[in-house]
């Protein structure tokens, strides 16, 4: 990747300054023309107003009607108007273009010069630019009429073109100053903008962002987990290669980007994550027969939800491994309990040998042998599945270790199942129900746990009843909810796993509400024996 020559802040400042400068330059050209035109029109209007005011004056009209070569009243009046209006000259002339007033008294009585007075002597008001005795000027001419509306003369008001140019320069100077201020403000704005953009980009330069983008794409496409992301409107914005492969196996369209997640995959529940803002972990989802394990999380930027992302993996094979691992863990717990119980008995035997209590030792060994033989014989006689039988024997030892009287009752023969998956699921179900029952009776003196098996017509019924505190009605709606527990944090997974196992083997789980003490769970599963 080619390293960027300039920093982002430098590029933004230069670009903004160039744009502002060009904008102000174009604006200056356009405004200068407009301002020049406006100033010229204002000066012309000023000259017209002054000339019209003088043309309406009674003093001027009386002086012209008297037809005197020199009228001090007209001269004094026009001089006052000239000073008050700040114009170059105010000249009153008769119909022969002879001056009746002038800033230079020596020119009074002489012909008006400029050659642009002919139109006004013919009764036409107009504005012109011409050079007279005082130099080049902008002139406004207005005819003068008596009471009978007969033209008796005209008035000319002149404004120096130098004053006009000065006004134009002042206007242009103002525009230049405003442009300079605009450029400075643009530079300051560019600096602030560059800092803001740099801040929201976590101080990264464009080339670094491009590098991170490439790394992210490579990472997303290389991971084995499927990844799908949506924006705040629940539109799919990202799907990696693994996700497309999983979707293809489920029969979903191959190009979901741009589609609504609620239309493409309604069961994803990403729209719910967008609303609640809460992450959901390790959720099992089945799409067209394909089981996947899903994690969902909101995308939060500046404390606002801008989208959501979901990662998932095909759980069809993982389920089989998880079932085996669950069984192995349960077997291990059972063996640990048996080993612990056996070590306790060896300690008792060792103590009796040291005390030379051989008669008591003989009775104790006979009791242990008879008790073990009875348990083993009763369980193995009725339960023909070695894995399930071994598991139950381990649970018997575990119950004795926790000072719980566990009774296993089989009123029918339980054959080995055709589908070995049934065994693994039953181990999960029975194991969690037994463990919950033993834990529930921990604070009670009377600790009795009954596990009853009944097999009939390819259906196996299992009842697990304890003498503990029982269940409250307000707990029923939440018993099988993942993470729900009255025993503290990081609990509440046992009954959730039991419920999931029952779903896998299409069984049912009921709670016996008729009993007054303790709790009883009734499991009914399809069970085809060999």
What are the tens digits of pLDDT across the range 459-495? Answer: 999 999 998 888 877 777 777 777 666 665 555 567 7
Which 8-state DSSP code applies to residue 268?
Answer: G
The more confidently predicted of residues 206 and 156 is 156
pLDDT (0 to 100) of residue 5: 61
The pLDDT tens digits of the residues spanning 326-373 come to 555 555 665 665 666 667 767 777 777 878 777 777 776 766 655 555
Helix orientation angle between 386-401 and 358-382, rounded to the nearest 10 degrees = 140
Band (pLDDT 50/70/90 cuts) for residue 179 is: confident
pLDDT at position 436 over 70: yes
Residue-wise pLDDT for 14-72, tens only, equals 787 787 778 777 777 777 677 677 777 888 888 899 999 888 888 888 888 877 767 78
Q: Which two tokens stand for residue 377?
A: 């014989």
CA distances from 24 to 12, 172, 173 (A): 18, 13, 14
Task: Give me the mean pLDDT over the 383-391 stretch.
Answer: 82
pLDDT digits (tens, 9 = 90+) for 29-42: 777 677 677 777 88
Out of 3.60.15.10, 3.40.50.2000, 3.30.565.10, 1.10.10.10, which CATH number does the structure's domain 319-526 have?
3.30.565.10
CATH of domain 223-314: 3.30.450.20
Residue 1 confidence (pLDDT):
43
Estimate the share of the chain in helix, then strand, then coil, as percent rounded to the nearest 5: 50, 20, 25
Please count the helices (runs of H) and the strands (runs of E) in the chain: 14, 14
**Which range has highest mean pLDDT (183-187, 320-324, 440-444)?**
440-444
Q: Report the interhelical angle of 358-382 vs 316-354 (nearest 10°).
A: 160
d(CA 319, CA 316) in angstroms, rounded, equals 5
The pLDDT of residue 476: 72
Question: So what's the pLDDT on residue 155?
Answer: 93
pLDDT in tens, 294-333: 888 888 877 888 888 888 877 655 555 555 555 555 556 6
The reported pLDDT for the residue numbered 328 is 56
Which residues make Cβ contacts (< 8 Å) with residue 75, sequence separation at least 6? 100, 101, 102, 105, 108
Strands 405-410 and 448-456: what pairing?
parallel
Q: Report the alpha-carbon distance of residue 420 to residue 404 in Å, rounded.
A: 30
Please, is 382 exposed, middle or buried when counting C-beta atoms within 10 Å of its C-beta (0-12, 13-18, 19+)?
middle
The pLDDT > 90 percentage for the chain reads 5
CATH (residue range 54-162): 3.30.450.20
- Please tell me the predicted confidence (pLDDT) of residue 245: 80
Cα angle 252, 254, 260; round to 5: 70
Hey, what are 103's tokens?
Answer: 């800033």
Distances (CA, A) of 129 to 114, 136, 157: 9, 7, 11
CA 136 – CA 130 distance, rounded (Å): 6
What pLDDT is attached to residue 108? 86
- Is 64:193 a contact under the CB 8 Å cutoff? no
The predicted structure's pLDDT at residue 142: 92
* C-alpha to C-alpha distance for 13 and 18, rounded to whole angstroms: 8
Q: How many CA atoms lie within 13 A of 497 on its CB side?
A: 21
Question: Higher pLDDT residue, 146 or 243?
Answer: 146
For the residues 384-412, what does the mean pLDDT come to?
A: 83
Token pair for residue 51? 């000339």
Q: What angle do CA 100, 103, 108 make, to 5 degrees?
A: 30
> Residue 288: which pLDDT band, with cuts at 50, 70 and 90?
confident
Residue 253 above 90 pLDDT? no
Least confident of 72-76, 177-181, 316-320, 424-428: 316-320
Q: Which of 1-5, 231-235, 283-287, 358-362 has the largest mean confidence?
A: 231-235
Report the largest interatomic distance among the alpha carbons of the chain, rounded to a whole angstrom.
169
In contact, 400 and 511? CB cutoff 8 Å: no
Residue 3 gets which letter from DSSP? P
Residue 399 pLDDT greater than 90, yes or no: no
Tens-digit pLDDT profile for residues 131-147: 776 777 788 999 999 88
Among residues 169, 142, 187, the alpha carbon closest in space to that of 32 is found at 169
What CA–CA distance (Å, rounded) separates 387 from 356? 40
DSSP 8-state secondary structure symbol assigned to residue 389: H
Rounded to whole angstroms, the Cα distance separating 259 from 278 reads: 23
pTM of the predicted protein model: 0.40
H/E element holding 78?
A: helix 72-85
Please check whether the two domains, 54-162 and 223-314, share a CATH topology.
yes
Alpha helices in 112-227 (DSSP H): 118-121, 161-200, 206-222
- Provide the 3-class DSSP secondary structure of residue 162: helix
Lowest mean pLDDT, pick from 37-51, 98-112, 368-382, 515-529: 368-382
Residue 249's pLDDT is 76
* Residue 140 contacts residue 120 (beta carbons within 8 Å): no
Q: What value does the mean pLDDT of the chain take? A: 79
pLDDT at 2: 45
> What average pLDDT does this structure show over 100-122?
85
What tokens appear for 71 in the block?
């009228």
Domain boundaries, the chain: 54-162, 223-314, 319-526
Q: Using CA atoms, how far apart are residues 203 and 199, in angstroms rounded to an integer?
A: 6
Tokens of 39: 């100033």
């Amino acid at each position: 990747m080619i390293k960027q020559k300039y920093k982002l802040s430098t590029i933004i400042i230069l670009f903004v300054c160039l744009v502002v400068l060009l904008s102000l330059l174009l604006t200056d050209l356009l405004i200068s023309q407009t301002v020049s035109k406006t100033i010229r029109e204002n000066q012309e209007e000023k000259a017209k107003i002054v000339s019209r005011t003088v043309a309406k004056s009674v003093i001027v009209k009386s002086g012209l009607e008297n037809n005197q070569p020199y009228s001090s009243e007209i001269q004094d009046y026009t001089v006052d108007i000239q000073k008050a209006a700040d114009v170059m000259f105010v000249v009153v002339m008769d119909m022969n273009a002879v001056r009746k007033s002038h800033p230079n008294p020596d020119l009074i009585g002489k012909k008006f010069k400029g050659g642009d007075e002919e139109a006004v002597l013919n009764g036409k008001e107009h504005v012109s630019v011409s050079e007279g005795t005082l130099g080049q000027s902008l002139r406004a001419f207005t005819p003068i009429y008596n009471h009978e509306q007969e033209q008796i003369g005209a008035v000319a008001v002149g404004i120096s073109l130098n004053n006009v140019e000065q006004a134009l320069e002042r206007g242009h100077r103002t525009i230049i100053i405003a442009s300079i201020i605009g450029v400075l403000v643009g530079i300051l704005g560019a600096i602030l903008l560059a800092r803001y953009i740099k801040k929201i980009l976590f101080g990264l330069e464009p080339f670094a962002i491009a590098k991170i983008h490439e790394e992210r794409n490579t990472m997303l496409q290389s991971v084995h987990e499927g990844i799908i992301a949506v924006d705040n409107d629940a539109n799919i914005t990202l799907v990696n290669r693994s996700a497309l492969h999983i979707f293809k196996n489920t029969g979903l369209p191959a190009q979901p980007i741009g589609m609504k997640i609620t239309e493409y995959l309604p069961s994803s529940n990403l729209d719910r994550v967008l609303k609640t803002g809460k992450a959901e972990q390790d959720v099992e989802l089945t799409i067209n027969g394909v089981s996947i394990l899903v994690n969902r999380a909101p995308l939060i930027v500046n404390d606002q939800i801008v989208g959501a992302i979901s990662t998932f993996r095909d759980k069809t094979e993982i389920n089989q491994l998880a079932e085996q691992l669950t069984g192995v863990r349960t077997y291990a717990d059972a063996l640990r309990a048996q080993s612990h119980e056996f070590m306790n008995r060896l300690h008792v035997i060792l103590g009796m040998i040291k005390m030379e209590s051989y008669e008591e030792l003989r009775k104790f060994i006979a009791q242990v042998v008879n008790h073990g033989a009875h348990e083993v014989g009763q369980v193995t006689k009725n339960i023909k599945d070695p894995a399930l039988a071994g598991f139950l024997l381990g649970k018997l030892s575990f119950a004795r270790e926790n000072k719980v009287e566990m009774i296993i009752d089989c009123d029918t023969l339980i054959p080995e199942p055709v589908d070995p998956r049934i065994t693994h699921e039953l181990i999960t179900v029975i194991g969690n129900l037994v463990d919950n029952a033993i834990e529930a009776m921990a604070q009670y003196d009377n600790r009795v746990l009954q596990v009853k098996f009944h097999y009939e017509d390819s259906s196996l019924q299992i009842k697990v009843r304890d003498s503990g505190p029982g269940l409250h009605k307000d707990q029923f709606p939440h018993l099988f909810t993942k993470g729900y527990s009255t025993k503290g944090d990081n609990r509440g997974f046992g009954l959730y796993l039991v419920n999931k196992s029952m779903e896998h083997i299409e069984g049912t789980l009921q709670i016996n509400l008729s009993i007054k003490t303790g709790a009883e769970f009734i499991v009914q599963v399809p069970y085809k024996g060999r």
